[in-house]
Structure 1
Amino acid sequence: MSTKDQILKKIEILITNHFDSPQKAFSFFDNDGDKQLSKSEIKNLLQEAEISGFIRGIVSSKLIEGYDKDGDGLISWSEFQLALEEISE
């Protein structure tokens, strides 16, 4: 299992074990309520998923780079859903 797969699995476990739905997880980490996850909000999600502080910044940047389809530097709900679909494959 690659490091990427391990990180995505930890995110999946966090969402599955601590939230009733992916949308509730998204809303929980959307601290400012703008319906998008910023890099700092993604770092909070990664911290809760027990991703090492050393790589958290790199991973949050890579997640945005990989899933930010509209190029605004944020992860919207629809982009978050696409990421979750990849995780659960």
Structure 2
Amino acid sequence: MSTKEQILYKIQILITNNFKTPEEAFAFFDKDSSAKLEKSEIVALLKQAEINGFIRGIVSSKLIEGYDKDGDGLISWEEFKFAIDEIADKDK
């Protein structure tokens, strides 16, 4: 399992174990209710997923780069759902 896969797996475990739905997880981490996750909100998600503090900033930037389809530097619900669906597909 690559590092990216390990990180995505930890995020999946966090969401599965703590939230009823991915929507609930998104809403929980969207602290300012902007309907988009900012880098600081993604870092909070990574912290709760027990991603090492040293790499959290790097990982959050890479997640934004990889999933921010509209280029606004934020993760919308649609982009978050795409990431969650990608994680789920890897488990099949």
Smaller-chain TM-score range? over 0.9
Residue number in structure 1 paired with 2:37: 37
**Between the two proteins, what is the percent identity of the paired residues?**
70
Structure 2 unaligned residues grouped into runs of 5+: none
Determine whether 1:84 maps to 2:87: no
Post-superposition shift, 1:88? 0.8
Residue number in structure 2 paired with 1:28: 28
Structural RMSD (CA): 0.3
Post-superposition shift, 1:64? 0.2
Distance of 2:87 and 2:65 partners within structure 1: 16
Q: Report Cα offsets for 1:7-34 as digits up to 9, x if no partner.
A: 0000000000000100000000000000
Post-superposition shift, 1:45? 0.1
Determine whether 1:74 maps to 2:65: no
Structure 1 unaligned residues grouped into runs of 5+: none
Q: Report Cα offsets for 1:51-89 as digits up to 9, x if no partner.
A: 000000000000000000000000000000000011111
Q: Give the alignment of 1:2-17 within 5 angstroms.
A: 2-17=2-17
TM-score (norm 2): 0.96
Residue number in structure 1 paired with 2:54: 54
Counterpart of 2:48 in structure 1: which amino acid?
E
| Equivalent position SS for 1:73 | coil
| Equivalent position SS for 1:25 | helix
